[in-house]
Structure 1
């Protein structure tokens, strides 16, 4: 039976446990069995060995979010899954610092990612966590910062008279004997969105992290909503109130990638703003970043690209010219075909296609099933396994243009393949 989180953390909070954990090298699955046996033979208890190996594995996984800081932190499995990436937490902290906030209450601090970022900017931090084991991890993770204090308490019970800023990361999952499940109603979060709004009504600088799928109609009036994507993965929508909201910005898409940060903003409320023209597929097709789509900024992006939508309800943009943008992935349009499985199967055979990437919007087609139909037993698809036969790779975009379902063959525009160079077998 799997150990409870507290059983995986408690053995580490001893001199022997901490020293043993610090002595381990990088974790590998292949070497974990041998290391388990070696540590037990050295006289360490099975509970301690299990705890240090689990923690070593979590630290290795956490490097994607915390970089080199992960090597000195403590994690729980659930806490790591829900933790804010340090690059994003740093931007949260910068908001409070830029607004002149001096002391922030981090309500629902989890493992302390946002508290760590706030404290590193010399802000006073009161980190509050209701789960005892998670609070213990946060205490260890914040040891380097004397300006940060961890409080084991319910977020709604902590006095806030001495703070001028509040950051919240409400629990959006419930745990039962069958595991955890996500909840979608903001009033069912812990604490609920109404609690956040009551804090904002007091005039304090307030920010809250919400799930990126938050419906527009649930976003309160009088705040800025900023959707954030990291390397193409939409991680959150942050709602900002009072001093930490930006004048003239109602919704925003912040895209963090290898080349830095880029942001698209609008002062218009949801459902308002410019309308983009609708036109045919041709030239270059752009697939907007998920943050742009979530923020309702597809039309704004289309106009900035001097392009048009294929359908007013679908987030695909076409433009006659290629533009360098961090807000969308670009493809060169090669041909537009009617969506007909028999005809597409003949096309695949004629072209000698053995690897097929399928994207879709605005259609109920399942890409995996269609790929099997079109390739038959010849190929493995873009994510298949095994030995692939010689042939060429193709990309299809399935969508609607008005009432017509179409399959658009496109070619990704990459740095190492200039526009206009077609890869064919």
Structure 2
């Protein structure tokens, strides 16, 4: 995403972020960055003092700032790429995780006939890199000069310059007609933090949707919490989680996508669950022997009713996405628990039960409860060789504690 200026932290360095970044790409700057790969941020002052004996203070400040960003980026890009790439603070924060970008690029590549993609609001180039690695030529566009320069440097650093053309321009001025597909990643953060109104995105969702509908195929990256009523009937809406955490939602348009459908996709497995017609509201009933917690992508995609139907189950509360059943059910889309106790919410009673069962390791989960798991663990004062899971929730509207253990159904 590249709609917001994102200067590198320059400390007492120069006011011009482009000059600061250019200095990092000189042989001296590159060598300095290589030497900072494993530096300890807690010792940054001592490191800066040492390096300034041999290097200009401006360059040292820029290098230390970039080294911090690279360390943060490892979680998204992996060490091999992160320590070769360049970043801005917003770029690290807003870039797509490599696993998700690779999955999305794979969907484009699998369609056949997608040879050129216009990546609008490309940010530091994370999505362009994934598309290029899938064999797709990319026009990567961002209106911020520094962000565009960083994207260009990343394409060069990863040996992808032949497939990625970076252009510094306003995306609304780009003619996308020569391209087989369009990808738009509007900025969803502003000066006051996260933006929740899709029309306050930059560019607005309405503009991005119009651009998508003009293209043979398109994908729009949006916030996972987008209201379903903001999604037009022309889109296939997909929510993607990685390692159990919902990372993004994507609206797909054009040939090869199922307009009007909702989809939940789980990485790294690639398991995907989809429906065109929403199921009726699921039944609500008493807690059974088993409790199933749907993945967040399933919940966001309004596919909990599908899970209820598959396990012959019911909800424990009409407002809570916990599914219960009297039979074991194996699914990649849920975490399963075998329930041993159902208690009204009472911390003293919970503490006594855990002490009686010699529970020393407690996992606390919550859904529909204002109590924080950390507070529960602190108050329990656990000791013993056994483990347990407590789920703080509501059952038929009443605050409830469900106690059990993780369960792996066969299948």
Q: Indicate whether the TM-score tops 0.5.
A: yes
Spell out the pairing of 1:16-415 with structure 2 (5 A cutoff). 16-29=28-41, 32-41=44-53, 43-67=54-78, 68-99=80-111, 100-143=113-156, 144-145=159-160, 146-175=162-191, 180-243=192-255, 245-246=257-258, 250-257=261-268, 260-268=269-277, 272-353=278-359, 356-372=362-378, 374-375=379-380, 378=381, 389-390=383-384, 392-413=386-407
CA–CA separation in structure 1 for the residues paired with 2:391 and 2:406: 11
Any conservation in 2 of the 1:8–1:54 contact (CA below 8 Å)?
no
Structure 1, 274-283 or 27-36: larger mean CA deviation: 27-36
Give ranges in structure 1 of 5+ residues lacking alignment. 380-388, 420-425
1:188-219 CA-to-partner distances (Å, cap 9, x unmatched) read 10111111221233243111100111111111
Give the number of equivalent residue pairs.
Answer: 393
User: Cα offset for 1:277?
Assistant: 3.4
Residues 139/88 of structure 1: CA separation in 2 closer, same or farther (3 Å cut): same
Q: Which has the higher contact order (CA 8 A, sep 6+)?
A: 2
Structure 1, 102-111 or 299-308: larger mean CA deviation: 299-308
CA–CA separation in structure 1 for the residues paired with 2:397 and 2:300: 24
CA–CA separation in structure 2 for the residues paired with 1:368 and 1:72: 38
1:276-308 CA-to-partner distances (Å, cap 9, x unmatched) read 333322322111111110000111112223332
Any conservation in 1 of the 2:239–2:246 contact (CA below 8 Å)?
yes
Secondary structure of 1:213 counterpart? coil
User: Cα offset for 1:32?
Assistant: 4.5
The residue aligned with 2:3 is none
Residues 8/294 of structure 1: CA separation in 2 closer, same or farther (3 Å cut): farther
1:322-381 CA-to-partner distances (Å, cap 9, x unmatched) read 333221111111111122345335434544556543322234444444555x53xx35xx
Aligned-CA RMSD value: 2.6
Any conservation in 1 of the 2:213–2:253 contact (CA below 8 Å)?
no
Any conservation in 1 of the 2:177–2:215 contact (CA below 8 Å)?
no
User: Cα offset for 1:164?
Assistant: 2.5
TM-score (norm 2): 0.87
Any conservation in 1 of the 2:294–2:335 contact (CA below 8 Å)?
yes
